[in-house]
């Protein structure tokens, strides 16, 4: 079962290319600080900004670097069925452990359309599939009943990244899905509440900058040590919050710039953080002793 702190890894750029020297540093940091699994090409990884050939090389490079030390998830979903299946098959062939497939954005399908979309993907691939529900990005919510139906009917749909912010919906999935179906928190501010309800981990933005702290909170929850987890969760509230003062991944990448781990480079339409927010971010990072 996939559990623990899973970092939604940023994709660093330099001179209009992926910065593989920075990637090496980031991967080493996560392997050394308890990150339980790594997600490539998710929302935080700016998958939509990557060219197809660039993306394929990047995935293979990271898989080679990680070399089986921790599980690797790859974001493969698009709003096009054929491309989603092709991306998922490529991730499967490259050796990824899981495919994270987002609900089709822009199309605004019905629940029937969502069910049939994910059914088709699951039927065409062998790699374990994790659904990704993030209505704030896609304009569509994958309802709990649809998720549960998919979990019951497709054994290779093994989990969901739940980023709806709806704790009732998440709880219904945990209650009604098979016992080995994994619900992962998709929002750092919801990690503790969802873990108390029965989530098995998080796909985290904040883990990019404090991997050991996020791992510790999730591990405490998995071990039932909720009092310790609560203390650390509350301690991270301000840091979790500042990661979303502008569109993700702008704040987390700016934080990594301030920490000296990546270059300050973005791909349009993502742009640099405004000066007032940069000052606020720096103030909070200094409070957490992440920068001097």
Beta strand 17-18 with 13-14: parallel, antiparallel or unpaired? antiparallel
Q: Is residue 259 pLDDT above 90, yes or no?
A: yes
Question: How many Å apart are CA 38 and CA 203, to the nearest integer?
Answer: 9
Are the C-beta atoms of residues 107 and 115 closer than 8 Å to each other?
A: no
Secondary structure of residue 206 in the 3-state scheme: helix
Of all helices (H) and strands (E), which one includes residue 178? Answer: none
Question: How many Å apart are CA 247 and CA 59, to the nearest integer?
Answer: 24
Closest CA to 130 of 176, 82, 181: 181
Among 58, 90, 98, 161, the active-site one is 161
Question: How many Å apart are CA 159 and CA 208, to the nearest integer?
Answer: 22
Cα-to-chain-centroid distance, residue 13:
19
> Ramachandran region of residue 150, left (φ > 0), alpha (ψ -120 to 50) or beta?
alpha
Task: Return all residues near 107 (Cβ < 8 A) that are at least 6 apart.
Answer: 79, 113, 140
Q: What is the average pLDDT score of the chain? A: 97
| CATH number of the domain located at residue range(s) 4-223 in this protein | 3.20.20.70
Burial of 56 (0-12, 13-18, 19+ CB in 10 A): middle
Closest CA to 194 of 228, 164, 220, 171: 171
Closest CA to 37 of 7, 57, 58, 11: 7
For the chain, what is the radius of gyration of the CA atoms? 18
Give catalytic status of residue 106 as yes or no. no
Question: How many Å apart are CA 26 and CA 262, to the nearest integer?
Answer: 9
Handedness of CA 177, 78, 75, 132 (dihedral sign): negative
What is the per-residue pLDDT across 22-63, written as a single tens digit (0 to 9) for each? 999 999 999 999 999 999 999 999 999 999 999 999 999 999
Longest CA–CA separation in the chain, Å = 52
pLDDT value at residue 5: 98
What is the per-residue pLDDT across 149-163, written as a single tens digit (0 to 9) for each? 999 999 999 999 999
- The residue ranges of every structural domain in the chain are 4-223
Question: How many Å apart are CA 13 and CA 80, to the nearest integer?
Answer: 26
pLDDT value at residue 25: 97
Give catalytic status of residue 161 as yes or no. yes
Phi and psi at residue 155, to the nearest 5°: -60, -25
What is the per-residue pLDDT across 201-243, written as a single tens digit (0 to 9) for each? 999 999 999 999 999 999 999 999 999 999 999 999 999 999 9
Average pLDDT over residues 170-194: 98
Q: Is residue 292 pLDDT above 90, yes or no?
A: no
Question: How many Å apart are CA 156 and CA 129, to the nearest integer?
Answer: 6
Q: Is residue 1 pLDDT above 90, yes or no?
A: no
DSSP state of 176: H
Instruction: Give the number of other Cβ atoms within 10 Å of residue 277's Cβ.
Output: 16
Please confirm whether the linkage preceding 24 is cis (ω < 30° from 0). Answer: no
Among 115, 132, 200, 213, the active-site one is 132
**Alpha-carbon distance values, 211 to 24, 80, 114, 123 (Å):** 15, 33, 33, 35
């Amino acid at each position: 079962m996939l559990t623990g702190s899973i970092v939604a890894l940023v994709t660093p750029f330099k001179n209009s290319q992926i910065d593989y020297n920075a990637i090496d540093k980031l991967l080493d940091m996560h392997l050394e600080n308890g990150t339980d699994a790594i997600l490539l090409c998710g929302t935080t990884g700016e998958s939509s900004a990557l060219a197809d050939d660039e993306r394929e090389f990047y995935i293979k490079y990271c898989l080679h670097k990680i070399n089986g030390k921790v599980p690797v998830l790859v974001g493969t979903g698009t709003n096009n069925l054929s491309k989603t299946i092709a991306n998922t098959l490529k991730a499967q062939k490259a050796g990824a452990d899981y495919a994270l497939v987002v609900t089709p954005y822009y199309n605004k399908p019905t629940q029937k359309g969502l069910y049939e979309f994910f059914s088709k993907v699951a039927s065409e691939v062998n790699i374990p599939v994790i659904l990704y529900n993030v209505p704030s990005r896609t304009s569509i919510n994958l309802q709990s009943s649809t998720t549960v139906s998919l979990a019951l009917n497709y054994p290779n749909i093994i989990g969901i990244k739940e980023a709806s912010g709806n704790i009732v919906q998440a709880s219904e999935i945990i209650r009604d899905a098979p016992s080995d179906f994994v619900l992962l928190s998709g929002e750092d501010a919801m990690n503790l509440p969802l873990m108390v309800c029965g989530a098995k981990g998080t796909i985290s933005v904040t883990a990019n900058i404090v991997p050991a702290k996020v791992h510790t909170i999730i591990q405490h929850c998995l071990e039932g040590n909720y009092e310790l987890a609560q203390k650390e969760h509350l301690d991270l509230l301000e840091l979790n919050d500042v990661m979303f003062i502008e569109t993700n991944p702008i704040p987390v990448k700016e934080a990594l710039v301030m920490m000296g781990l990546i270059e300050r480079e973005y791909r349009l339409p993502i742009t640099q953080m405004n000066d007032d927010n940069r000052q606020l971010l720096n103030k909070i990072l200094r409070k957490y002793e992440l920068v001097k």
